[in-house]
Every structure is written in C-alpha cells, then in structure tokens.
Structure 1
C-alpha cells in the first residue's frame, strides 16, 4: 500500500469542522468539562463502551468479539489530552484587576496585550492583559522587567461588578482565539491544537475502526482523552489501574522549528513534512522496538515522517510506561508552530499523513513484530 495526499473537499471540510469545534472550546487543566462533553458525544456511537473516571478522563473501549476468542490480541492504548494551557483566578482587587496563576507552561513575553476569556459556567467574560503605553516606557533608559508575577487581567469592571457576574477565585481563563483557515486545505491557526487537533484525529481514527472492524480485529483497542496533562501529566496516571495496555501510542503536539527567530537554531521538525516520531523527551525514552516499527511502516508505505527530540517537554505516556508490568510506549507528534501561546499554526498535510500512519500501523502491529 502506498500513501498519497488527498484533499477531497468533503473530507477536508469534515476535518476542519471537527478541529474548529474542539479548539474553540475552553478547557484549561482541571476545567476540561466542555471538551469532555463533546468528546463523549463524538465517540459514543462508534461501537465502544465509554466511561468517565473519577478525575475526568474519558475512556472508550472498542467492542471486539474476536478478543474473546484469542488471548493473543495485542492491547493497545491510544491517547491524547483534553486540557490546554491557561490560568486560574486567585484574587480580585477592589478596582477589579484580576490576578491569576498559570495552568501549564507559559513564556512571559507572550502573555501581554491579548484578549482572554473568563469561563463562568457556560458563559464567558472577555478580559485583557494590560501593558504600559510606550509613552511611559520611553521614560526609562532600560524598560522595567516584565514577568508573569506582574500579570493582571482587566475586564473594565470593578470588583463588585465582577462578583455580581459570578467571577471569583477558582475560575479558569483561556485565550480568546478562534480557529482560522489561513490556506484552505493546507494551513490553520487556532489555540489549543495541543492537544485538540490530536483528539480530532483520534475521533476520525475511531470512526474508521468502527466502519472497518475486521481490519482491526487482532487488537484490543482503548482510546483515552486525559485531563491535566499540562500541569504534570496527572490525569494519565489514573489510567494505570484501569487500562491493561501492552502498547501506548501517545498523540501530542510537536514543536515546529521553521520560523525566523527560532531560539535553538534547530531545523526540524517543520510544517508540511509529516508527523514527528519522538526518540527522546524530558519525561520518557520511547520503546526502541516501537520506534523501529513505526519508522518501517512509514517507510514501507511512503508516508512522510520526521524525527524529534525535546528536553523541556513532557507527555502522558511517561506516566504509564513503568506502571504494572511495564508498557511499550511511543510519542507521535503533529508539528505545531508557537505551541503554548495564544495561537498555533499547523499543516493539514501533516495531520492527514499522521492519521494515515496510525491506521496502517494499527493494521500491521502484532506481538511478533515488537
């Protein structure tokens, strides 16, 4: 089987709509409810037993009559996280300025001068991160250091007005950035591609498995959408006692390095060259047999792929790799520019190639190939 790029209008639009639906949702760490509700609805009609555990992970076990007949079926867990980086309100002063703590990793210089949404139940309130005007800063020979400790959110309302609207400590703040098609069928911008684009991919993969059960009958497949990845891969740890996996395919956002001011001066991965296979990250070394297997599948089917390694990076599979009897795990990534900021940019051809790679890898994987 060979792989070729296909951008049929119908399939393209369905994918765009799915990514748009998921990325536009608010869902900071510990506030994944809106995402969980949509994922549960999207997954429930795909021949699965679906449940939500006590910390909020969505677990979907694909029904497989063949698994009752064969003890040799490989148990495969495919997962991605629901949460996005954001903030949690900690205080409101009398003038109405809001202080908040970060949920996940932010770089200070991307925080200022942006619009944000405060989630109040199923409603949102706009807020802005203020910054001194240049007229003030130009009075200093050296502008004062700006750190996240000085960050505040301004809604234009005073404290009592905010309280009357239900704003209080403990609520989440997320970027106000809606999915945008930059180049139809090719490039998109949005917040929360990390990891909502991968949840969209899992949804499309699940639909394919549901339509073609015979193709995947040699596997016991479980899909999981996890919580609180951005604050230390916490939700995934709860899966250890619930899912018996031989193999984990963790789906994540990769760090594209193809823009002019890229700090490390590294050159890969880039947009448009396929998904990234991790050989190292700060939280996990992948199973070398899995790396070889995925590499060989991509090569044999002419599916483009890239290599990636990141030191300051963690992902959910690391929370399960050494649980129980141990699990063979790998991190597969969709390259994203400007991760952990208000906007990311992704390439549709990377998404399509990664989805195709997952399908073929699952069709070919077995115990004797690892």
Structure 2
C-alpha cells in the first residue's frame, strides 16, 4: 500500500485538474469493478460483493489537492497567482513550486525585506503581493512555457522519517484514495459504490454531483484532518493527534454526523481493537457536507487520518494511523448494511 501512497502523493492534481490522479486510480481498479467518469470528472466505481443489500453504501475520497493558479504575467516575466483551496500565506513564501503542465519550476517571492516599509515587515505578506519567479526576463519569454490558468503545486519530497512518520504533498486526500483502492481490490461482503471526487478543496463540488447520481442511503467519507498536537498547544485545542488512530468526528463546520454511525464506529473500534479518537474541537469540513444533504438526505460518517501541517507542502502523518483508518473503514463496510 505504501508504494501506492507515494505514487499518488507525487501525482499533480489541483482542484479542477485531477485527470492524472483519476487515470492512475483507474489503472489500479479497472479489473475489480465497473466504473464511469461523470461530467465533473468524478470517478464512480461499483464493486460487486458477495451479497446485494437492500440499502446502498457509498465510500468517498477526493482526488484534488490545494495549489496555485496563474492569473497574470507581468512585463518583467513574473507570474501573479492566487491559491486554489485554503492555503495559509505563511506557508507559501520562499517555496519552490512546479507548474506541472510544462514541468516548469519556479520560486514564490515578494519584495525584498530591505525594500519593505516598517509596517510591511511587521505583517504577513499577502498572496496578492507575491509572485512566482521562473527565471524569465519578459512576458514573452515566460509565455513560452506558462500561460494564465496554469496550475502549480508545492515541490516537495515524499519521505519517511522518525518513528513511522511520512511526509509529502497532497496526502490530503491521496491517503483516502489509496484506502479506497485497497478496498476495491479486496474481497467485500456487500455490493457498494466507491467515489473519487473532484474539487473538494474549493467547495465540495464533485461530491455534490456524485452523491446526487449515486443516491446512496449511507456514506463513509475517508479523509485526512488537522492534527495540532504540537508544543505549546493545549490538549483541548489539538483537535486530534498522530499515533492515536483513526479520527471519527461527531461534528465539523460542514456536517453533524449520524449519531448511530458515530456510535457504531467506536463500538467496532473497541471490538476489533482498532485505535480510534475523536476531535476535541468543531473544526474543518469535508465532502460529507455535500453528501449528507443530497436528495432526501444521506446517513453519513467520516473516518480520517490525523495530519500535521495540512494544506502545506509537508503534510505529515503516522503510518499506524493510516492502517487504523483502513481497518475501521473495512469493518464499517461489513456492518453498516
């Protein structure tokens, strides 16, 4: 599974431009399920199990990652840009990025510190005051390799380090995609749908369309979620922590989760000896926000991998937590229906 996680992390797929990720997933699942791609680019798979249930279950993970999009090219060849998805400007400045349509590498910069006013030095630089430097000296030179609308992602190395930790870009939510692929390629008790969604990071757009098409009775969203288990952060505000297992939340900013499914997840975790935790704060959101209100409503739960430094170039997770998420999601698929 870890080779798959690394492969997916290295793929580039900013919201609305997920084709490379989708094609890689199709290559791995096409022999195990029926599939189709809808108008928004969602990959919708149907996996035949040993039993056809009366109710319909959908598992969901999103393919897209946060990134950047070029909005303008200056006379001097610098690229003005904005973010795609929620990226804190404090993790952007000075980072190398890959404008992956052409493989052009650039560096995000801003006005030199000795040219800044005293007020500018004391405030966080806004994205609108930054640029991507690709080494071009004119707009014409830059236009040979880049055009407005091109997307960029963080340049970062996928690496394992410390006590079973790994870091990389786009682990939100390529980890969820890897978990779903693992399940599709396994023997399952019930028929079910697996949906790999687009545009989650810009408003849950793919999930809204996919949930309407599939029309499930139940949904399990497989995600990553913010872990703030860092020095100086009180336990109450850490949200969740690495090494404490799968995260099953009762509420976030987009969803109040089905209470029976929430209880079931913890019951299964205890019975099957799967490490699990809940969030200590109401924070974040995911595709469940669009799914649970689709049509006449969908009973929904989310199971997430805790991740430090979410929406940066170095999402950091613990491998044991990923294993716990895989085990718990599998047990839910065996039990919900």
TM-score band, normalised by the shorter chain? Answer: over 0.9
Structure 1 residues 141 and 76 mapped into 2: Cα distance closer, same or farther (>3 Å)? closer
| Gap runs ≥5 in structure 2 | none
- Aligned length in residues: 335
Q: Is this contact kept in 2: 1:74–1:220, CA < 8 A?
A: no
- What is the alpha-carbon root mean square deviation over aligned residues? 2.0
Look up the match of 2:17: 31
Shift >3 Å, 4+ stretches? 131-137, 139-142, 261-265, 309-312
Could you say if the C-alpha distance between residues 239 and 349 of structure 1 is closer, same or farther in structure 2, counting changes exceeding 3 Å? Answer: same
Please name the residue that 1:90 is paired with.
Answer: 71
Quick one: structure 1 residues 309 and 231, their matched pair in 2 at CA, closer, same or farther if it must change by over 3 Å?
farther
Query: Contact 2:237 / 2:280 at 8 angstroms: preserved in 1?
Result: no
Q: For 1:46-69, what per-residue CA distance to the aligned partner results, in whole angstroms no more than 9, with x for missing partners?
A: 1x11110011000000124742xx
Higher mean C-alpha deviation, range 272-281 or range 262-271: 262-271
> Given the alignment, which residue of 265, 270, 273 partners 1:294?
265
Tell me how far 1:318 sits from its aligned partner.
1.5
Shift of 1:237: 0.8
Aligned residue number for residue 7 of structure 1: none
Partner of 1:119: 100
Alignment-derived partner of residue 178 in structure 1: 157
Give deviations 1:8-30, integer Å, cap 9, x for gaps.
xxxxxxx2211110011111010
Alignment deviations for residues 277-317 of structure 1 (CA, whole Å, 9 cap, x no partner): 01110001000010011110001111110101554522112
Tell me whether 1:206 sits opposite 2:190 in the alignment: no
Distance 1:142 1:27, change over 3 A: closer
Deviations 1:65-84 (A, max 9, x none): 742xxxx4331100010001
Cα 1:127–1:64, aligned 2, differ >3 Å: closer, same or farther? same
TM-aligned CA deviation for residue 148 of structure 1: 1.5
Distance 1:102 1:56 in 2: 21
TM-score (normalised: structure 1)? 0.86
- 1:363 Cα deviation after fit: 1.8
Q: Take 1:129 and 1:265, find their aligned partners in 2: how far apart are those partners?
A: 35
Question: What SS does the corresponding residue of 2:228 show, helix, strand or coil?
Answer: coil
Map residues 1-370 of structure 1 onto 2, 5 A cutoff.
15-46=1-32, 48-64=33-49, 66-67=51-52, 72-120=53-101, 123-136=102-115, 140=118, 143=121, 145=123, 146-157=125-136, 158-165=138-145, 167-183=146-162, 186-208=164-186, 212-213=187-188, 216=189, 219-262=190-233, 266-308=237-279, 310-366=281-337
Task: Tell me: CA distance 1:188–1:364, structure 2 relative to 1, closer, same or farther (3 Å).
Answer: same
> Is contact 1:281-1:309 (8 Å) kept?
no
